[in-house]
Structure 1
Amino acid sequence: MSTDVTTDPPHTSPPGEPSESKPGPLARLGTWAGTHRRWMFAIWAVLVIGLGAAAPSVFSSLAGAGWQANGSESVQVRELAQEHFGGNSSAAVQVVLNSPDGPLDPAAQNEILTELRAIADGDDRFAAVIDPQPGMTVSPDGRTAIAIIGANASTDDMVKAVDDHKAEITALATDDVEVYPTGASALWSDFNKANHDAMIKAEMISWPLTLAIMVVAFGSVVAAGLPLLLTLAGLVASAGALVLLNAVTPISVWAMNFAMMFALALGIDYALFMVARFRTAYAQAREKYDDKTAALRATAETMDTAGKAILLSGLTVLVSLSAVLMVPAPAVRTMAVGIMLAVTFVLAASLTLLPAVLAALGGKVNAGSLPWTKKAHHHHGHSPLFTKWGKFLDRRPWAPAIVAVGILIALALPVFGIKVAMPSIAVVPEDAPVRQGYEVVAAQMGPGAPGMLTIIAPESEAAEATEILTANGDIAAVMPAQPAGDGSGLAMIQAMPKVDPSDESMGATVDTLRADLPGSVLVGGPASENLDLQNALNTWFPRVAATILALGFLLLLVALRAPVIALLGTVVSLLSTAAAFGVAKLIFGDGIGADLLGFDPQGFLNGWGPVFFFAMIFAIAMDYTVFLLATAKEHYERHGDARQAQQDAMGQSGRIIFAAAAVMVAVFFSFALADPLPPKEMGIILGVAVLLDALLIRLILLPAILRVSHHGAWWCPKWLDRILPTISFKH
């Protein structure tokens, strides 16, 4: 029915003139990179080696904390406790001494405390050791006591201090007394280590798997190796840049974990798109020119078409993630910064280093070809299978589209029952000292003991505050008020809730206390810090999501100059995001498949998930939208036939989208094998999102929408046409 419109090099000008009479800025950049490739290689070598020198220390030098809502009541409490109460804040290290066989022997206890003081005195980050207080930090049966090493540094530095001294403190245990460092700083220390180990393990699995998928997708060893080389350059540079940035402002260690995962997935996407396009353009140019000229012309054409789509896609990802910077939580902000850095480096490598490599390789890009790929080159980059699928959707667009929408809506429905909360102690491995200490304290002193509330009041109001606390039915015990003793006129009261810090009712308890206590009295402690952060995340989520959607739509509108398809492209991306969260609710909220995936469901999604995953999933969804629509727009600009443009776009980009999605799913699902829950959650949610997005939206729904909307998809009112910048994908 249709003729392959890309078989002959298209002529937009009269046949006698070269069609590339006015190469665009990206085509010029590609030509420059190709002709000055030695310079390009030298620049990247200096960049990668220079920044790479700092890269190996990335996990040890990045910050471990930052999970707080800046400006919240609980952060004020922590700062006051640190300043006026000998560092007895939520960042202090609680050292649990436990004698399983009977009451603690005073001599053994004193010996351990003396050694503990020596450790604390030897590090400026620690304040003085606060001895166990009978009736407060000693269990009723005398078997368990808690000594507190005060915090004399920021939360980030306290996590590092625990990293440095954890083994030393645990080693104070004797045959009769167990010793466990616990508390928030120790929790983050163990938590970050478990996650780092899981990330490295997942990377080890995903790299070989990725290479295998790439070889199958490209059918050539050289072409398959290029994306990995490119991604590696981008990753090393961004790791080094994060270390340097961390010297200026603390960057969460999670920033690197996310950046590794995202840079690998996106770098491969971009390179796939570019290399596939280059091979087609090179095959066409080689019919007319010698190898060197053909390689340069193909590089320019690749940059003018695929390069534009990649630049637009990269900008969409950066814009989506920049919206996360609105959330006033340092860890969340720096995670976004980490990914943005990695994406920037990968994007820069795709648009400068890759064209230089392609121009240098020329025909050698197909070296190491596998037997079954010989046929594919005759189709000028069009996949016979996806061309057939495009034609099928052209004939019957409605049924597949309705089925796809039905599946997505069904999967998205559970979203309305989704619950979020900050992670509980269960996210740390069972053998971690912090969890063992936590469980001992909960068993010996009551479930609320590990999550003591810290109340700071003016001394004049301490008696009234104590009365209100004692009268509250959710509080199990109230400790006597302790004056600061430094002339500040403040007093600290510790109150033990009746429930575990992760219990759903904790939020209501803290809200009630804040409402009942006098206005000058502040409620804090580790559990309150988690609740305040959760509230901030919940407050900011709708704003972040709305910003991402609006900016995503605007970017598509500017690039495609077509309001109808820009709006529909944004809406279908939102649909796949909602479906991914619906699946997340079924798995992590309801525990469906938990045994198979090897985790204990918490009954909720980790608190930072919605804000962060929304930005990441939407960025990836828009990534594929851009690839498909930019290709369709290019063909539509060339011959003006909307139906043919949909088929050509499917034939040309279907296989690349399918291969890119397969790589992303492999990368993300390899993180699902991690033991700790957060990387598992991240891997599964992002993997499911990409799977749904590629199969149901990019390969069914969006092409069907293009077919049904016909010329309407590319319509643009005259007034809008006048104000939008002129961007063309035609080469």
Structure 2
Amino acid sequence: MTRSTALGVDNPAAEPITAGGVLGRMGATMAGHTKWVFGIWLVLLVALGAAAPSVFSSLAGAGWQANGSESVQVRELAQQHFGGNSSAAVQVVVHSDTRTVDSPQMQQTLSDVGTVFAGDPRFGALIAPQPGMSISPDGHTGILIAGANASTDDMVKAVDDHKAELTALSGDGIEVYPTGASALWSDFNKANHDAMIQAELFSWPVTLAIMVLAFGSLVAAGLPLLLTLAGLVASAGGLVLLNEITPISVWAMNFAMMFALALGIDYALFIVARFRDAIRHASSPRAAVAETMDTAGKAVVLSGITVLVSLSAVLLVPAPAVRTMAVGIMLAVFFVLVASMTLLPAVLGTLGSRVNAGSLPHAKRQVHRSPRFAAWGELLHRHPWPFAIGSLLVLIALSIPVLGLKVAMPSIEVVPTDAPVRQGYELVQAQMGEGAPGMLQIITPAAESAETAAAATATDGIAMVTPPQPAPDGSDYVMLQAMPTVDPSDAQMGTILDTLRADLPEGALVGGAPAENLDLQQALNDYLPLIVGIILILGFVLLLVALQAPLIALLGTVVSLLSTAAAFGVAKLIFQDGHGASLLGFTPQGFLDGWGPVFFFAMIFAIAMDYTVFLLATAKEHYERSGDPKVAHVDGLAHSGRVIFAAAAVMVAVFFTFALADPLPPKEMGIILGVAVLLDAVLIRLVLLPVLLRLTGHAAWWSPAWLRKVLPKIDFSH
């Protein structure tokens, strides 16, 4: 072997590799053209990295709406005809214990608030506090409304820009708080962003420690983090550029950060572990890369496709924030997948046997075929039924609570108690009534105004209805405000809204922030069965194509549902019933955030199928070599068990760091995903699925002749 070949430098002609599959030859090409690969990635990362630092300030802050719903129609009509007095308008609460709204000091403060808004074209008409509508009965609290003259995303940014200036007007016994939906998302996004950054910073050293223990080598442990960093920078820059075309929710980056870290480590673990085994007997680093990509590389590609397909189903939900969160994760997965197929093979080809540099003492005895997981596979093979029944009982017991799961859009409690929007919200409730922060807006033709006002006033659950206000632009519309008798997040709010809409004349439309939340929740509920069905079908089809075996593809898909159901059962016990709430430091809302079932199902199923592909692809590789189902079962575990265990440990550590966050949504996300991965890896991938391989024997890998002719041929043996 020449020195240039051993080091993996550019010399593609030195050792042409034509055997193996497409991915093997592609991996060898990457390892043989390292200068080109590194150069292209450097240019890509510099270009996208230049945009990456502005990702959190550039991305959209709103988008939590059901496009085409009645409430969105009301908001659009309000912005068009009523000076922007819509759900996106900014409400500024001005309160004094000692002075009334008509006092000179309070009037001066209201004038100062108007001055803050005056220089910004994103704000529309200003509506001063009005008796009977936006002044409290005792006269000590008034609400000034600044109309929304821009999109909901721009209004959130407008609040970001001015809320410090507004709250700075507090003083001399007068309090000033910006409230309303735009202010809520401004405060919520900031709290959420801070929590996500803290969790990410905490998870990196934990991840590195687990990597070192798993690989036993500092160099090998660093490669997954290199891959993840490349994926993160590329996806952050990509989201900023994509935001120039269409608004992308800031939440997209939050999820992208998490998934780039989790899946980047998963993929790198699988590939690097296989390369370390191949380099022991391969004729050169390029040959080792070819063997690695021809086996582990196929599993990674199939896993990545499965993740992308699962998340693509979420794009059906007509909510911009939900869709763009899925886009953010898909972009991160895409870049991590591309880096796994190009950058990582080039690095491995360059390193060669030096991938084991900086090894810890125990690592020198480490081999790819884990004796411990081989022994575990033998134990499962001898006693399959006790392990199958035990794991099933645990999963079913944890799944039962999901039958009582309730979902709703987040309440005001998702923002910190010292956030201005929450202080203003609670002040309005105390001064004006429980439902005052969640006023419903009714827009109706002027001819039906009297009938609409009478019907709204008579509706159960409506405490007060303001007189009809004609549209300032002279159009044939009037607006009424209806105050519910309950808090906007109360379970009765949905019934009140449905009753109000049913009682009003046909031309009347009902909107407002509570209605937008309820309409979005309804859309999420309506689309959930469709999304679950699509994900299950596509997951089965992808496993079928990968494994060419219908029985194990079906079993692999069905058992993935168990960890998902169990994770949601645990979520119900914690976040709805409040078990462990004091330990985790939150106040339960009595429900799970409404976007959770749709989004978390897609994410959990994608992760579960990730491990399924790793285990079954390895088992099929050994079945193709030996034709013996016992060898497939035992050696499948022996060669993939350590990687699955280490990858799951990293994911659980990453996800559980988000449980330390103060805002509730990141806490929900971290615990639900962490529990799902823990249950899936331990009880399903390392127990139940191997036992099913044992019990089904040859039938697991059987495929009818007609199906083999239809499906593309995919081999996992090299």
**TM-score range, shorter-chain basis?**
over 0.9
1:700 aligned residue = 687
d(CA) in 2 for partners of 1:80 and 1:162? 22
AA of the residue aligned to 1:350: S
Q: Deviations over 1:569-601 (max 9, x none)?
A: 000001111111111111111111111111001
Alignment of structure 1 residues 29-44 onto 2, 5 Å: 29-44=26-41
Q: Does 1:665 align with 2:638?
A: no
AA of the residue aligned to 1:693: D
d(CA) in 2 for partners of 1:471 and 1:104? 31
When normalised by structure 1's length, the TM-score is: 0.95
Q: Which residue, out of 594, 611, 625, partners 1:607?
A: 594
Residue 22 of structure 1 deviates from its aligned partner by 3.2
Residue 374 of structure 1 deviates from its aligned partner by 1.2
d(CA) in 1 for partners of 2:191 and 2:212? 33
Q: Does 1:422 align with 2:419?
A: no
2:11 aligned residue = none
1:306 aligned residue = 296
d(CA) in 1 for partners of 2:322 and 2:399? 25
1:385 aligned residue = 372
Query: Tell me, which stretches of 5 or more residues in structure 1 are unaligned?
Result: 1-17
d(CA) in 2 for partners of 1:486 and 1:420? 40
SS at match of 1:430: coil
1:318 aligned residue = 308
SS at match of 2:418: coil
1:9 aligned residue = none
AA of the residue aligned to 1:42: G
Alignment of structure 1 residues 676-687 onto 2, 5 Å: 676-687=663-674
AA of the residue aligned to 2:277: T
- C-alpha contact (below 8 Å) 1:117/1:128 kept by paired residues: no
d(CA) in 2 for partners of 1:521 and 1:135? 23
SS at match of 1:672: helix
Q: Which residue, out of 176, 189, 214, partners 1:217?
A: 214
d(CA) in 2 for partners of 1:321 and 1:568? 21
d(CA) in 2 for partners of 1:432 and 1:253? 19
Q: Does 1:235 align with 2:232?
A: yes
2:12 aligned residue = none
1:343 aligned residue = 333
Q: Which residue, out of 394, 399, 419, partners 1:412?
A: 399
Between 450-459 and 368-377, the greater mean CA deviation after superposition: 368-377
Q: Which residue, out of 321, 343, 351, partners 1:353?
A: 343
2:497 aligned residue = 510
Alignment of structure 1 residues 421-440 onto 2, 5 Å: 421-440=408-427
Residue 91 of structure 1 deviates from its aligned partner by 0.3
Q: Deviations over 1:104-154 (max 9, x none)?
A: 452112212222222222011001211000111000000100000111000
Alignment of structure 1 residues 113-512 onto 2, 5 Å: 113-285=110-282, 289=283, 294-377=284-367, 381-512=368-499
AA of the residue aligned to 1:387: A
2:69 aligned residue = 72
SS at match of 2:398: helix
Residue 21 of structure 1 deviates from its aligned partner by 6.6
- C-alpha contact (below 8 Å) 1:120/1:128 kept by paired residues: no
- C-alpha contact (below 8 Å) 1:74/1:522 kept by paired residues: yes
SS at match of 1:248: coil
d(CA) in 2 for partners of 1:675 and 1:666? 17
AA of the residue aligned to 1:518: P
Q: Does 1:644 align with 2:631?
A: yes
Alignment of structure 1 residues 710-721 onto 2, 5 Å: 710-721=697-708
Instruction: Summarize the Cα distance change of 1:50–1:21 in structure 2 as closer, same or farther, 3 Å threshold.
Output: closer
Residue 102 of structure 1 deviates from its aligned partner by 4.4
AA of the residue aligned to 1:328: P
Q: Deviations over 1:309-345 (max 9, x none)?
A: 0000000000000000000000000000000000000
Q: Does 1:525 align with 2:504?
A: no
Q: Does 1:553 align with 2:540?
A: yes
- C-alpha contact (below 8 Å) 1:116/1:129 kept by paired residues: no
d(CA) in 2 for partners of 1:124 and 1:316? 45
SS at match of 1:53: helix
AA of the residue aligned to 1:310: V
SS at match of 1:477: strand
Q: Which residue, out of 707, 712, 715, partners 1:725?
A: 712
1:108 aligned residue = 105
AA of the residue aligned to 2:420: P
Q: Deviations over 1:292-316 (max 9, x none)?
A: xx21111000000000000000000
2:8 aligned residue = none
- C-alpha contact (below 8 Å) 1:121/1:128 kept by paired residues: no
Structure 1 outlier segments of 4+, above 3 Å: none
d(CA) in 1 for partners of 2:496 and 2:486? 10
Q: Which residue, out of 551, 567, 577, partners 1:564?
A: 551
d(CA) in 2 for partners of 1:431 and 1:105? 28
Residue 621 of structure 1 deviates from its aligned partner by 0.2
d(CA) in 2 for partners of 1:306 and 1:33? 16
Residue 537 of structure 1 deviates from its aligned partner by 0.3
d(CA) in 1 for partners of 2:162 and 2:425? 18
SS at match of 2:244: helix
Identity of aligned residues (%): 72
1:24 aligned residue = 21
SS at match of 2:574: helix
Between 21-30 and 326-335, the greater mean CA deviation after superposition: 21-30
Q: Deviations over 1:167-224 (max 9, x none)?
A: 0111112212100000000000000000000001001110000000000000000000
- C-alpha contact (below 8 Å) 1:104/1:177 kept by paired residues: no
d(CA) in 2 for partners of 1:426 and 1:516? 31
Residue 86 of structure 1 deviates from its aligned partner by 1.0
Residue 376 of structure 1 deviates from its aligned partner by 1.4
Alignment of structure 1 residues 3-22 onto 2, 5 Å: 22=19
Alignment of structure 1 residues 44-59 onto 2, 5 Å: 44-59=41-56
- C-alpha contact (below 8 Å) 2:19/2:25 kept by paired residues: no
Q: Does 1:83 align with 2:80?
A: yes
d(CA) in 2 for partners of 1:120 and 1:152? 11
- C-alpha contact (below 8 Å) 2:428/2:436 kept by paired residues: yes
- C-alpha contact (below 8 Å) 2:23/2:293 kept by paired residues: yes
d(CA) in 1 for partners of 2:125 and 2:481? 19
d(CA) in 2 for partners of 1:490 and 1:418? 41
Alignment of structure 1 residues 624-635 onto 2, 5 Å: 624-635=611-622
Residue 472 of structure 1 deviates from its aligned partner by 1.5
d(CA) in 1 for partners of 2:113 and 2:694? 72
SS at match of 1:110: helix
When normalised by structure 2's length, the TM-score is: 0.97
Instruction: Summarize the Cα distance change of 1:576–1:651 in structure 2 as closer, same or farther, 3 Å threshold.
Output: same
d(CA) in 2 for partners of 1:724 and 1:235? 35
SS at match of 2:399: helix
d(CA) in 2 for partners of 1:470 and 1:231? 57
1:4 aligned residue = none
Query: Tell me, which stretches of 5 or more residues in structure 2 are unaligned?
Result: 1-14
- C-alpha contact (below 8 Å) 1:206/1:667 kept by paired residues: yes
AA of the residue aligned to 2:305: L
Q: Deviations over 1:252-309 (max 9, x none)?
A: 0000000000110000000000000000011122xxx3xxxx2111100000000000
2:9 aligned residue = none
